[in-house]
Amino acid sequence: MSLPGYDKVTGCIEFPELNWSNWSNRWLDQKPEKFYGYLKKGNHFVGEVALRQVEDNTYMISIIIEGSKRGNGYGKKGLVMLIDYAFNQLGATLVMDEFEQGRNVSDHLFKELGFETKKQGDLVIYSLSKDQYKKGAC
Model confidence at 16: pLDDT above 80: no
How far apart, in whole angstroms, are the C-alpha atoms of residue 84 and residue 129?
A: 12
CB 109 within 8 A of CB 77: no
- Long-range CB contacts (within 8 A, 24+) of 12-17: 12/64, 12/67
Torsion sign over Cα 115, 121, 73, 91: negative
- Domain membership of residue 10 (yes or no) is no
- CATH number of residue 60's parent domain: 3.40.630.30
- Domain membership of residue 41 (yes or no) is yes
Residue 19, judged by CB atoms within 10 A of its CB (0-12, 13-18, 19+), counts as exposed
Domain ranges, residue 94? 17-134
Model confidence at 5: pLDDT above 90: no
Backbone angles phi, psi at 7, to 5 degrees: -100, 110
The pLDDT, as a whole number, for residue 15 is 64
Higher pLDDT residue, 36 or 138? Answer: 36
Higher pLDDT residue, 58 or 25? Answer: 58
Number of folded domains in the chain? 1
The pLDDT, as a whole number, for residue 30 is 66
Q: What is the mean pLDDT of residues 110-136?
A: 93
- pLDDT 10s digits, 74-108: 999 999 999 999 999 999 999 999 998 888 899 99
| Helix axes of 74-88 and 104-112: crossing angle, nearest 10 degrees | 50
The pLDDT, as a whole number, for residue 51 is 93
How far apart, in whole angstroms, are the C-alpha atoms of residue 127 and residue 59?
A: 10
pTM of the model: 0.78
- Domain membership of residue 29 (yes or no) is yes
Higher pLDDT residue, 11 or 48? Answer: 48
